[in-house]
Structure 1
Amino acid sequence: MPNIPFKTSLIGINVVTTYLPSHSSPTEGHYTYAYTITISNASDSPVQLLSRHWLITDANDEIQEVRGAGVVGEQPIIPPGESFRYTSGATLETAIGYMEGSYFMVVREPMNVPPEDLPTFEVPIPAFTLHTPTALN
């Protein structure tokens, strides 16, 4: 499906990250982080998140690329004025890194048309850091 003109500024992305020491092993180069993302829809139409694309970069400039359908096993429909929140995770080989990416979405109108038959639009996800509590001090 082709991309459509859509004010992507009407889709808000808020990210909160947490270092998970109980799931990490710094001596083995495993630093695990949780990130909670809230996607808000300030448009007048329902939107559906179809897929995601992430670039996860550690302090050694090693990049993990992740593509997939939906998020956490869902392809949520977000009504106008509402939001969808989910938590996922990433593991790095360093104490500091960052993630950036994009969501591919559709305006879910009319609802009786399958999402694959609707035009898509891309919502960029600005870079956010992943770091242990003392890594940036």
Structure 2
Amino acid sequence: MVTAITLGVKISVDTSYQDEHSNPVNGHFMFAYRITIENLTEYAVQLKRRQWFIFDSNGTQRQVEGEGVVGEQPVIEPGESHAYVSACNLNTDMGSMKGNYLMQRIADHKDFIVDIPEFELIVPYRLN
């Protein structure tokens, strides 16, 4: 698990290779990732947007951005957390992702950026 804290918001990422949804012969490797967002501040925050940078080990890079996460723009109260699961496909058996969330403090509508720490996506057989 990879974890980082930015401006009182803690992001934790756990990944898993999805063998049943992958097709290595055709260069299709599917990974799931679970993200937990913990609000360690004293004010409610809302996740407004996401931006991802996705890297394959062959040098291919992609950027994905959009509103919310998995169709939601969750409000996270102080001391609370929000978790979700999503997935990413790679053309190689290893790569990485990193990114950021645009968050907003509910009380004063002030926007701020929270970093999503870089995490590796590696098929299990590469770890041996």
Aligned match for 1:125, one of 99, 107, 116 = 116
Partner of 2:62: 64
Structure number with higher strand proportion = 2
- Bigger radius of gyration among the two: 1
- Unaligned segments of structure 2, at least 5 residues: none
**CA distance, structure 2, for counterparts of residue 64 and residue 90 of structure 1:** 11
TM-score of the aligned structures, taking structure 2 as reference length: 0.93
- C-alpha deviation, 1:106, in angstroms: 0.3
Corresponding residue to 1:53 among 46, 51, 54: 51
| Matched letter for residue 134 of structure 1 | Y
4+ long deviations beyond 4 Å: none
The equivalent residue for 1:77 is 75
Query: Offset at 1:8?
Result: 2.8
1:97 CA drift (Å): 0.3
CA-atom RMSD in angstroms: 1.2
Q: Give the deviation of 1:134 after TM superposition.
A: 1.3
Percentage of matched positions with identical amino acids = 45
1:108 aligns with 2:106: yes
Give the partner amino acid of 1:128. Answer: F
Deviations 1:79-137 (A, max 9, x none): 00000000000000001000000000000115xxxxxxx22100011100001111132
